[in-house]
């Protein structure tokens, strides 16, 4: 014990081990009491719903506010309050918030004004003509299967289905009408509660937008108080890149969906199709969901048109396929400054995972959230590779077995072609002849060039 020398690393190891044990206990406790924990999380989220909505609304409207404040009201208020720049800045912010909220509320009111009459008219038409639709379907089936052995089977199947529907209405729906009404009442109360939370969130968003610099400064203050300066700088850099990527993706996706909805509206109007406004809004909203969105929007839209005119329904399906090809090949690459960087597997994973957790909203936000996480992990991983003077290109690691710690020479598996190994050796030899400093002699790690580019140059 006399030779024991205290070192801070023992304290770090002890604290790390303690945190690992506590985190493991908390994780297993959460798994064993998941239902109760889920209920508790739901209660907390429900209580914080207005605040969460407020920050989301403020984040989505911040782009419009910034444009209005800097390009319109800042110059105007500077002229009005020449002697008081502080008052001019506050007035520009207030006017910008008011106009931004009016634009947002006007857009939402316009959507409801267009959609609600279409929904009411569609429901009334379907209910009024339901017997005609059924008679037409039966006549078409009889005409189609006339002379075939399937005709009696089809007619019997239709009669059986009709009888089952009548029995279900008499034996299930009517006796349980009270329970049905109570569930409807609960749904109405839930909708009203959500509307109240959104209204409160709108009020909170005003405070957030007015004091956004203060909130951002407080967040930075917290980061620098909890982390070392070097780590805090890295966190700030990553947060800025995340904010830029997420905001650009959201704005680009909304613009793309609006263009698709407008093109759909123009085509349906020219072709004289029914439910033009309703279907165009459905197509635009569902287009926010990657991959599955066009299918989700096309199915109910096609069914609505099919009730009126089967030929127009077929034309609509063909047009939807063509429009999605134009959107995927022309519109989205031009609107988005960069691709998501995700493979098809990760896009599908994001949609299914977040959709399973949060429904339609999760399917909309799943891809941008996964893109941000993927980009963040890739940047951190590349930073660590640069710090060790290792290539960032994934092709360098195909078939890799080991890397020499001193020369950084790679060793590949036996099935790899010998030509590739010779190229890698040539690249390393070229670096050595050029007088490139060894990894330990470098003052600051620099990004290494992609291996594929060097292979092409060596081949030339």
pLDDT, mean of each 10-residue run, the chain (460 residues): 58 76 78 69 80 88 88 85 85 91 88 76 69 67 60 65 67 63 65 84 90 90 87 83 76 84 90 86 84 82 82 90 84 62 71 74 75 79 80 74 79 60 55 47 41 49
Tokens 């490139």 belong to: 436
Q: What is the DSSP letter of 437?
A: P
Structure tokens at 62: 């911040």
Structure tokens at 58: 């403020």
Query: What is the C-alpha R_g of the chain?
Result: 31
Tokens 């096609």 belong to: 302
Structure tokens at 426: 């040539």
Structure tokens at 257: 């969906």
pLDDT for res 20: 80
Exposure string (b/e) for 220-247, b if CB count within 10 Å is 16 or more?
Answer: eeeeeeeeeeeebeeeeebeeebeebbe
Residue 344 near residue 305, CB atoms below 8 Å:
no
pLDDT for res 100: 92
Would you call 343 helix, strand, or coil by DSSP? coil
What CA–CA distance (Å, rounded) separates 313 from 368? 33
pLDDT for res 326: 85
pLDDT for res 436: 46
Residue 262 near residue 323, CB atoms below 8 Å:
no
Query: What does the angle CA 162 – CA 167 – CA 172 come to, to the nearest 5 degrees?
Result: 130
What CA–CA distance (Å, rounded) separates 286 from 261? 10
Residue 339 near residue 328, CB atoms below 8 Å:
no
Q: Where are the domains of the chain?
A: 14-47, 241-387, 389-434+450-459
Structure tokens at 325: 């090809």
* First-to-final CA distance of the chain: 66
What CA–CA distance (Å, rounded) separates 362 from 410? 42
Question: Is the entire prediction scored with pTM above 0.75?
Answer: no
Answer positive or negative: Cα dihedral of 346, 347, 348, 349: positive
Residue 64 near residue 70, CB atoms below 8 Å:
no
Which secondary structure element, helix H or strand E, spans residue 298, and what is its range? helix 293-308
Exposure string (b/e) for 431-458, b if CB count within 10 Å is 16 or more?
Answer: eeeeeeeeeeeeeeeeebeebeebbeee
| Residues paired with residue 402 on neighbouring β-strands, in sequence order | 411
What CA–CA distance (Å, rounded) separates 218 from 388? 35
Would you call 408 helix, strand, or coil by DSSP? coil
Give backbone dihedrals phi and psi of 448, rounded to 5 degrees, phi first: -85, 150
Would you call 43 helix, strand, or coil by DSSP? helix
pLDDT for res 187: 63
Residue 301 near residue 279, CB atoms below 8 Å:
yes
What CA–CA distance (Å, rounded) separates 447 from 50? 45
What CA–CA distance (Å, rounded) separates 5 from 31? 42
What CA–CA distance (Å, rounded) separates 61 from 52? 14
Count of CB atoms situated within 10 Å of the CB of 26:
10
């Amino acid at each position: 014990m006399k030779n024991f020398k205290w070192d801070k690393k023992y304290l770090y190891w002890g604290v790390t081990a303690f945190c690992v044990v506590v985190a493991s206990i908390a994780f297993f406790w959460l798994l064993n009491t998941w239902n109760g924990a889920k209920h508790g999380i739901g209660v907390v989220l429900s209580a914080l719903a207005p605040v969460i909505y407020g920050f989301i609304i403020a984040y989505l409207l911040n782009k419009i506010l910034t444009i209005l404040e800097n390009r319109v009201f800042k110059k105007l208020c500077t002229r009005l309050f020449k002697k008081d720049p502080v008052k001019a800045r506050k007035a520009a912010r207030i006017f910008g918030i008011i106009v931004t909220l009016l634009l947002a509320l006007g857009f939402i009111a316009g959507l409801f004004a267009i959609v609600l009459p279409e929904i009411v008219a569609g429901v009334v038409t379907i209910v009024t003509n339901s017997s005609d639709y059924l008679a037409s379907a039966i006549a078409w089936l009889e005409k189609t299967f006339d002379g075939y052995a399937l005709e009696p089977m089809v007619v019997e199947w239709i009669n059986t289905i009709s009888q089952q529907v009548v029995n279900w209405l008499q034996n299930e729906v009517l006796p349980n009408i009270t329970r049905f009404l109570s569930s409807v009442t609960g749904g109405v109360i839930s909708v009203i509660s959500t509307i109240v939370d959104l209204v409160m969130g709108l009020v909170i968003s005003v405070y957030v937008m007015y004091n956004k610099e203060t909130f951002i400064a407080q967040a930075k203050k917290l980061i620098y108080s909890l982390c070392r300066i070097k780590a805090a700088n890295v966190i700030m850099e990553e947060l800025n890149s995340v904010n830029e990527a997420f905001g650009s993706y959201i704005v680009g996706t909304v613009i793309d969906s609006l263009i698709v909805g407008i093109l759909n509206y123009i085509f349906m109007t020219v072709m004289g199709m029914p439910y033009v406004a309703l279907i165009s809004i459905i197509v635009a909203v569902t287009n926010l969901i990657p991959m599955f969105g066009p299918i989700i929007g096309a199915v109910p839209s096609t069914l609505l048109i099919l009730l009126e005119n089967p030929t127009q329904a077929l034309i609509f399906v063909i047009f939807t396929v063509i429009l999605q090809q134009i959107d995927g090949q022309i519109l989205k690459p031009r609107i988005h400054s960069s691709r998501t960087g995700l493979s098809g597997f990760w896009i599908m994973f994001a949609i299914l995972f977040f959709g399973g957790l949060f429904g339609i909203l999760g399917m909309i936000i799943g891809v941008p959230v996964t893109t941000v996480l993927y980009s963040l992990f890739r940047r951190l991983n590349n930073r660590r590779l640069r710090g060790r003077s290792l290539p960032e290109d994934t092709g360098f690691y195909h078939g890799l077995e080991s890397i020499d710690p001193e020369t950084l020479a790679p060793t590949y598996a036996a099935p790899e072609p010998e030509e590739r190994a010779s190229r890698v050796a040539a690249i390393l030899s070229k670096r050595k002849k050029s007088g490139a400093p060894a990894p330990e002699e470098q003052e600051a790690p620099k990004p290494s060039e992609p291996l594929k580019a060097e292979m092409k140059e060596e081949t030339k």
